[in-house]
């Protein structure tokens, strides 16, 4: 008998390979299916009727139906082979899970899913399979433990099939899930234990093997891509094990050191020597240092070259570093800040630039400006050039560009655009064209070396910035464009993955809950507990009936026992009562004797104390009468003193009444006087305004009036009249406004007619103002303004008098609770007091009011006498209190004892009568017999109760009742729980269907792969941003340092000029050689465009002089032309500029074109003028 089977495991169908591209992943997934077909063919070749897959047939639980059915279809193609599948930790058997779905959909007859741990016959009379399916991903119990007790027919080959770990990989065994004992073949009498979980083929012992995965799936797998052919000749023999190759893909990990092209070529050759590269995946880790040229060689030969030969090559160059050589740096840039930023270890020597010098000699230019422009050039060697030839020679000599049809422009003028300052362009920006800027940069590079790196150096930061701008926004550095889209893509993928994981979590929870519910329902449906509980319930009920009857008999016996005890107690109580009655009679007789003795003693003591009290009471009555007489005398004297005080109060109030009456009279008088004056603030204001207007009118007339003066001797004015009225004595002048007639006796009349402009208007205005003044005076009923002012002041004084009088009235006659305010109220109050005083005098029988001082003196004497009488009475009263209290207490004791004696006497009589009656009814002997009979009856009944209680056993009615209730509830609870579990399972099944877990694990793995790839691209972009930012910063820093050195020649040449014009100042020039600012002695830098026009003009000329000097030192033509410049300079600055121009003229030729000849006479330069040539000298073009 020979039995053969193939042992395989860990197919993990549906596995996602996240580190390869889509095409390669498809190839690897298809290879795992093809390997199943190869297993079927191997079984056919070796005549093995069974293939045992030891777990992890699938990579995930929630697979799409297509993925789930693909391996089934591969196995269906081999109907003569029996395929045995076992759930593993990647695809555990869960309720309604993957395996239930496979079973429900129907498996081919040759495919068997072993989801229960129970023996299965592989071949009758030959072999049995003991599967150990996993129900959870992680189980901390040995899944093969059940095999020890599994029964199979004798002489059978017992094959165990399990998925788990033999050892803990260095961990405590308790922490390792799915741990399998390596002794299981011995303890379970297994012929062979087929294991899965380790993807590399491994022997544990002669009867225990890991087959390994049928296709390698990782670089760290050793001996993968295999299966095992297992053969048995008989159950006791050691199985023959033959490894079989099933996989077609090989996975290789390499680590290489490369430091040059030789190493790279060696690595390439080593890689190309690998057989079947199209079926090989390589994990290559490269370390070392390479020059830039070698790194490029590595990229071409390895990264882009040989890697294409393999199915997939994962390249790790994290420790492959670049070490550029001097030649590499020269290829980057031979100079400038780019080279400096790349590596400062290799400095370029100062590079000399080509310079051209003009031949010595004088060139003479003849130029025509009328009609069509034309030129002639006489060269130093005697050559004469004309027309365009002369223009071209001039452009060559002076570095001009050829103008277009619209004339010369800054770009075609070159340096002359900078050094030729045209009228109106002497201030503001220099406007340096690119051609001139190149010339200046060339001269600067000659001075300090190519520190700016030329055009390439300037474009490199711009290119980096442009690339950065494509990736991030310049303002805040936030991602943009593709970079932003990548970030958003990663966020979307993370959200999508989280949603899928949440669905997976919900599915897992639902499956777990469903599994637990099924296990509970299975346990409850067995009925074992129900049967046991029903049997116990029936026994408890029967025992409850028996015990209830017994308890009823016990209660009846106990009741009879209680009656016997009551009879005994009653008999004993009757005997005791008879003794108590006799003792009570004796006690009452003794008490009566004691009461009589105490009453005799107390009555004697009462008589003695009563005599003392009567004597003291007589003395107290006498003192009390004396005190009453003193009190009456004191009371009369007190009323007399009150009358005297009231008389004093009347005199005070009468004085105040008089003062208040006088104040009220003044008040009424002042109010009447004030009411008679009509002048108010408003009327006085109108009068004052009318007076002011009248004065204004009079002033205007007086200002325009004719002044008539009189210089007369004493009494010389007699008879002189003015408009018929005599001239007053002492009058020296008269103002004439209208016609004025001066009469002189004996002479005649002098008529004065003043010539006043607008006299009638002025007179009319004066009349209007006077009429207004007259009306205001009539309204106030006064004659003139002075009277109005006087009456107004009078009215004010009267109002003040009214206020003062009112305050006096309020002071002397205020309102109180007894009288109203004012003299009249106070007078009425005084009359009432007088009536009261008169009544009191009549009552006291006094003819006149007493004097207060005398009355108070007499009162004090009577008060003293009354106090002495009261004190004597109080002392005597205090002395009698003690005997009175003693007498009261004696009488209380007598009354109490008499009451007690009467009560005791009555009780004695009653007690004697009751005792005689009881003895007649029942004698003492009869009472004793009753006690003995009751005692015997009680003891007999107690013995009966004890016998009945002994029949109870260990149970009680409450205990039995609780047991019956508990068992009823337990049976009903299990019934309800079965219903609830069925409902819950239906709900969970609906929830699982709603979650739709088909393909969920595949979606998660694919989404994780997509996320990882997107994150890798995003990380590369983030690294690119960081690298570009760092590179740009490094270049900018190097550029800034280069600029400082680059602009030093210009700044050094402009410094002497600037010091002469602005001592202690310095200028700032940017990389485009434009003036950006001026710093004065304070250190504050002002922007150039914010300076005054004069300062801008002067600084711009100084910079041009510095440019010209630098160019001249290089042998380049450099002439500064000032075409009516310096138009905004004041005289002092102009003088300094003349000095500076003369300083610069030592090195640079300066031409000044001006129409202000007189201004520039102080310059001291040579004056030139253009000579007019005849037109004939110029050949027409």
pLDDT at 171: 41
Adjacent-strand bridge partners of 232: 3
Read off the pLDDT of residues 249-263 as tens digits, 9 standing for 90 and up.
999 999 999 999 999
Residue 850: which residues within 8 A CB-CB, separation 6 or more? 640, 643, 644
How far apart are the C-alpha atoms of 305 and 269, rounded to whole Å? 12
- 705-725 average pLDDT score: 76
Which has more confidence, 377 or 39?
A: 39
pLDDT at 350: 29
pLDDT at 453: 53
Read off the pLDDT of residues 429-475 as tens digits, 9 standing for 90 and up.
555 666 555 655 555 555 444 444 555 566 777 888 888 888 888 87
Of 348-357, 501-510, 1014-1023, highest mean pLDDT: 1014-1023
Of 24-28, 51-55, 791-795, highest mean pLDDT: 51-55
116: which DSSP letter? S
Residue with tokens 């943009």: 480
Strand pairing class (202-205; 226-232):
unpaired
How far apart are the C-alpha atoms of 488 and 478, rounded to whole Å? 12
pLDDT at 1179: 45
Instruction: Say whether domain 3-250 belongs to CATH 3.40.50.970.
Output: no
Of 402, 516, 600, 573, give the one whose Cα is nearest residue 977: 516
pLDDT at 782: 83
Number of H helices, E strands in the chain: 26, 30
Which has more confidence, 475 or 344?
A: 475
pLDDT at 726: 86
Read off the pLDDT of residues 73-82 as tens digits, 9 standing for 90 and up.
999 999 999 9
Tell me which H or E stretch contains 1003.
Answer: helix 1000-1046
Read off the pLDDT of residues 1093-1150 as tens digits, 9 standing for 90 and up.
778 777 778 777 777 787 777 777 678 877 777 767 777 788 888 788 788 788 888 8
Of 1102, 1095, 1126, give the one whose Cα is nearest residue 422: 1126
For residue 896, is pLDDT > 80? yes
pLDDT at 446: 52
Q: Lowest-confidence range among 296-300, 431-435, 477-481, 541-545? A: 431-435
Read off the pLDDT of residues 1147-1172 as tens digits, 9 standing for 90 and up.
888 888 777 777 777 777 777 766 65
pLDDT at 108: 95
Adjacent-strand bridge partners of 129: 120, 159
The Cα diameter of the chain in Å comes to 198
Contact 270, 302 (CB under 8 A): no
Q: 927 vs 912, 919, 924, CA distance in Å?
A: 19, 10, 5
How far apart are the C-alpha atoms of 22 and 20, rounded to whole Å? 7
Read off the pLDDT of residues 516-568 as tens digits, 9 standing for 90 and up.
777 777 777 766 777 787 888 888 888 888 888 878 888 888 888 888 888 88
pLDDT at 595: 85
929: Cα separation from own chain's centroid? 100
Which has more confidence, 87 or 1093?
A: 87
pLDDT confidence bin for 399, thresholds 50/70/90? low
How far apart are the C-alpha atoms of 750 and 730, rounded to whole Å? 20
67: Cα separation from own chain's centroid? 49
Q: 809 vs 659, 668, 820, CA distance in Å?
A: 8, 12, 12
pLDDT at 425: 57
Which has more confidence, 133 or 291?
A: 133
How far apart are the C-alpha atoms of 634 and 626, rounded to whole Å? 13
Q: How many CA atoms lie within 13 A of 985 on its CB side?
A: 16
How far apart are the C-alpha atoms of 622 and 625, rounded to whole Å? 5
Q: Lowest-confidence range among 155-159, 383-387, 791-795, 891-895? A: 383-387
Phi, psi for residue 346 in degrees, rounded to 5: -120, 105
Average pLDDT, the chain: 81
Q: Lowest-confidence range among 579-583, 714-718, 1019-1023? A: 714-718
Read off the pLDDT of residues 865-882 as tens digits, 9 standing for 90 and up.
888 888 888 887 888 888
Q: Strand, helix or coil at 352?
A: coil
pLDDT at 487: 85
Which has more confidence, 388 or 32?
A: 32
Read off the pLDDT of residues 761-774 as tens digits, 9 standing for 90 and up.
888 888 888 888 88
For residue 359, is pLDDT > 50? no
Say what the pTM is.
0.47
Read off the pLDDT of residues 160-202 as tens digits, 9 standing for 90 and up.
999 999 865 444 455 578 899 999 999 999 999 999 999 999 9
Which has more confidence, 1068 or 329?
A: 1068
- 357-374 average pLDDT score: 61
How far apart are the C-alpha atoms of 993 and 62, rounded to whole Å? 12
Q: Lowest-confidence range among 184-193, 371-380, 771-780, 1013-1022? A: 371-380
Sign of CA dihedral 942, 947, 951, 954: positive
Q: 614 vs 600, 695, 883, CA distance in Å?
A: 22, 115, 10
pLDDT at 353: 28
- 486-504 average pLDDT score: 84
Read off the pLDDT of residues 581-605 as tens digits, 9 standing for 90 and up.
888 888 888 888 888 888 888 888 8
pLDDT confidence bin for 281, thresholds 50/70/90? very high
Q: Is 840 exposed, middle or buried (0-12, 13-18, 19+ CB in 10 A)?
A: middle
pLDDT at 581: 84
Contact 169, 247 (CB under 8 A): no
pLDDT at 282: 96
pLDDT at 449: 44
Phi, psi for residue 763 in degrees, rounded to 5: -65, -40
Q: 817 vs 654, 821, 826, 830, CA distance in Å?
A: 18, 10, 12, 14
Of 143-147, 924-928, 959-963, highest mean pLDDT: 143-147
How far apart are the C-alpha atoms of 1108 and 1114, rounded to whole Å? 10
- 649-655 average pLDDT score: 84
For residue 716, is pLDDT > 70? no
pLDDT confidence bin for 26, thresholds 50/70/90? very high
Q: 1131 vs 1003, 1126, 1154, CA distance in Å?
A: 88, 11, 17
pLDDT confidence bin for 1040, thresholds 50/70/90? low
Q: How many CB atoms lie within 10 A of CB 528?
A: 10
- 715-725 average pLDDT score: 76
């Amino acid at each position: 008998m020979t039995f053969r089977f193939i042992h395989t495991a860990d197919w993990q169908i549906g596995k996602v390979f996240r580190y390869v591209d889509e095409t390669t992943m498809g190839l690897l997934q298809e290879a795992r299916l093809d390997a199943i077909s190869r297993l079927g063919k191997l079984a056919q070749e070796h005549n093995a009727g069974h293939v045992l897959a030891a777990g992890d047939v699938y990579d995930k639980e929630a697979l799409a139906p297509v993925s789930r059915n693909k391996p089934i279809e591969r196995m269906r193609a081999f109907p003569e082979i029996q395929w045995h599948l076992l759930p593993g930790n990647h695809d555990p058997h869960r309720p309604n899970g993957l395996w239930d779905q496979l079973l429900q959909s129907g498996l081919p007859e040759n495919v068997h899913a072993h989801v229960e741990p129970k023996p299965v016959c592989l071949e009758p009379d030959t072999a049995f399979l003991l599967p150990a399916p996993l129900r959870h991903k992680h189980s901390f119990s040995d899944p093969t433990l059940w095999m020890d007790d599994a029964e199979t027919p004798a002489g059978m080959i017992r094959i165990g099939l399990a998925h788990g770990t033999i050892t803990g990989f260095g961990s405590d065994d308790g922490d390792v899930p799915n741990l399998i004992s390596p002794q299981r073949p011995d303890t379970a009498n297994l012929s062979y234990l087929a294991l899965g979980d380790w993807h590399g083929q491994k022997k544990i012992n002669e009867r225990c093997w890991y087959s390994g995965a049928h296709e390698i799936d990782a670089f760290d797998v050793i001996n993968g891509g295999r299966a095992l052919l297992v053969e048995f000749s008989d159950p006791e023999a050691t199985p023959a094990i033959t490894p079989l190759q099933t996989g077609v893909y090989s996975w290789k990990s390499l680590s290489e050191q490369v430091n040059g092209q030789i190493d790279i070529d060696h690595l390439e050759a080593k890689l190309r020597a690998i057989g079947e590269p199209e079926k090989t995946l390589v994990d290559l880790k490269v370390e070392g240092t390479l020059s830039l040229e070698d790194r490029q060689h590595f990229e071409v030969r390895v990264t882009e070259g040989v890697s294409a030969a393999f199915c997939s090559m994962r390249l790790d160059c994290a420790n492959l570093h670049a070490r550029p050589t001097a030649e590499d740096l020269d290829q980057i840039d031979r100079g400038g800040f780019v080279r400096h930023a790349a590596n400062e270890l290799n400095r370029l020597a100062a590079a000399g630039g080509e310079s051209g010098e003009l031949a010595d000699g004088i060139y003479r230019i003849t130029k025509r400006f009328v009609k069509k422009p034309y030129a002639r050039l006489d060269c130093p060697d005697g050559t004469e050039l004309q027309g365009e030839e002369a223009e071209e020679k001039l452009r060559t000599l002076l570095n001009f560009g050829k103008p277009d049809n619209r004339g010369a422009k800054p770009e075609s003028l070159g340096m002359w655009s900078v050094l030729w300052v045209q009228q109106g362009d002497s201030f503001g920006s220099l406007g340096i064209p690119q051609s001139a800027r190149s010339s200046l940069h060339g001269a600067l590079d000659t001075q300090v070396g190519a520190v700016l790196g030329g055009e390439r150096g300037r474009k490199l930061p711009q290119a980096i910035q442009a690339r950065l701008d494509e990736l991030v926004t310049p303002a805040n550095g936030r991602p943009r464009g593709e970079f932003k889209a990548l970030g958003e893509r990663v966020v979307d993928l993370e959200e999508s993955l989280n949603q899928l994981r949440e669905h997976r979590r919900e599915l897992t929870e639902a499956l777990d809950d469903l599994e637990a519910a099924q296990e509970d329902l299975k346990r409850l449906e067995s009925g074992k507990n129900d049967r046991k509980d029903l049997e116990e319930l029936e026994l408890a009920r029967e025992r409850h009936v028996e015990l209830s009857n017994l308890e009823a008999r016990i209660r009846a016996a106990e009741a009879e026992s209680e009656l016997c005890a009551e009879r005994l107690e009653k008999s004993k109580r009757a005997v005791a009562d008879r003794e108590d009655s006799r003792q009570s009679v004796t006690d009452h007789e003794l008490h009566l004797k004691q009461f009589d003795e105490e009453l005799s003693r107390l009555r004697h003591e009462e008589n003695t104390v009563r005599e003392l009290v009567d004597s003291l009471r007589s003395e107290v009555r006498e003192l009390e009468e004396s005190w009453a007489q003193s009190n009456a005398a004191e009371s009369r004297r007190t009323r007399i003193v009150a009358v005297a005080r009231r008389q004093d109060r009347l005199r005070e109030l009468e004085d105040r009444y008089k003062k208040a009456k006088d104040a009220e009279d003044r008040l009424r008088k002042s109010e009447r006087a004030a009411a008679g004056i009509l002048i108010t603030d408003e009327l006085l204001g109108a009068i004052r305004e009318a007076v002011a207007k009248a004065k204004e009118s009079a002033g205007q007339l007086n200002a325009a009036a004719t002044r008539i003066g009189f210089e007369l001797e004493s009494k010389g004015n007699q008879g002189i009249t003015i408009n018929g009225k005599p001239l007053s004595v002492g009058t020296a002048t008269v103002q004439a406004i209208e016609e004025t007639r001066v009469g002189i006796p004996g002479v005649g009349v002098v008529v004065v007619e003043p010539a006043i402009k607008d006299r009638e208007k002025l007179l009319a205005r004066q009349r209007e103002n006077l009429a207004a003044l007259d009306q205001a005076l009539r309204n106030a009923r006064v004659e003139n303004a002075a009277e109005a002012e006087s009456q107004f002041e009078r009215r004010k004084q009267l109002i003040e008098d009214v206020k003062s009088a009112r305050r006096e009235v309020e002071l002397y006659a205020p309102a109180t609770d007894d009288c109203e305010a004012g003299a009249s109220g106070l007078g009425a109050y005084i009359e009432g007091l007088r009536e009261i005083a008169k009544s009191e005098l009549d009552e006291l029988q006094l003819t006149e009011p007493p004097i207060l001082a005398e009355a108070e003196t007499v009162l004090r004497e009577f008060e003293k006498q009354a106090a002495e009488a009261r004190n004597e009475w109080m002392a005597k009263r205090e002395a009698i209190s003690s005997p009175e209290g003693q007498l009261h207490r004696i009488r209380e004791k007598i009354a109490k004892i008499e009451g007690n004696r009467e009560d005791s006497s009555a009780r004695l009589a009653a007690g004697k009568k009751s005792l005689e009656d009881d003895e007649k009814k029942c004698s003492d002997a009869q009472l004793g017999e009753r006690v003995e009979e009751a005692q015997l009856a009680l003891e007999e009944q107690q013995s009966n109760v004890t016998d009945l209680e002994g029949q109870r056993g260990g149970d009680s009615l409450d205990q039995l009742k609780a047991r019956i209730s508990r068992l009823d509830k337990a049976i009903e609870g299990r019934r309800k729980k079965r219903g609830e579990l069925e409902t819950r399972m239906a709900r969970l099944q609906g929830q699982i269907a709603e979650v739709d877990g088909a393909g969920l694990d595949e979606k998660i793995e694919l989404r994780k792969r997509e996320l990882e790839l997107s994150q890798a691209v995003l990380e590369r972009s983030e690294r690119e941003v960081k690298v570009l930012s760092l590179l740009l910063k490094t270049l900018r820093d190097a550029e800034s340092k280069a600029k400082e050195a680059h602009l030093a020649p210009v700044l050094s040449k402009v410094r002497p000029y600037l010091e002469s014009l602005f001592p202690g100042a310095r200028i700032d020039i940017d990389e485009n050689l434009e003036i950006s600012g001026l710093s004065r002695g304070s250190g504050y830098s002002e922007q150039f465009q914010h300076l005054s026009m004069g300062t801008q003009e002067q600084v711009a000329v100084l910079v041009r002089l510095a440019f010209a000097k630098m160019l001249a030192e290089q042998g380049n033509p450099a002439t500064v032309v000032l075409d009516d410049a310096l138009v905004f300079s004041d005289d002092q600055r102009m003088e300094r500029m003349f000095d500076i121009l003369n300083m610069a003229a030592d090195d640079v030729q300066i031409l000044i074109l001006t129409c202000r000849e007189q201004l520039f006479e102080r310059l001291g330069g040579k004056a030139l003028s253009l000579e007019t040539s005849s037109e004939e000298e110029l050949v027409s073009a």
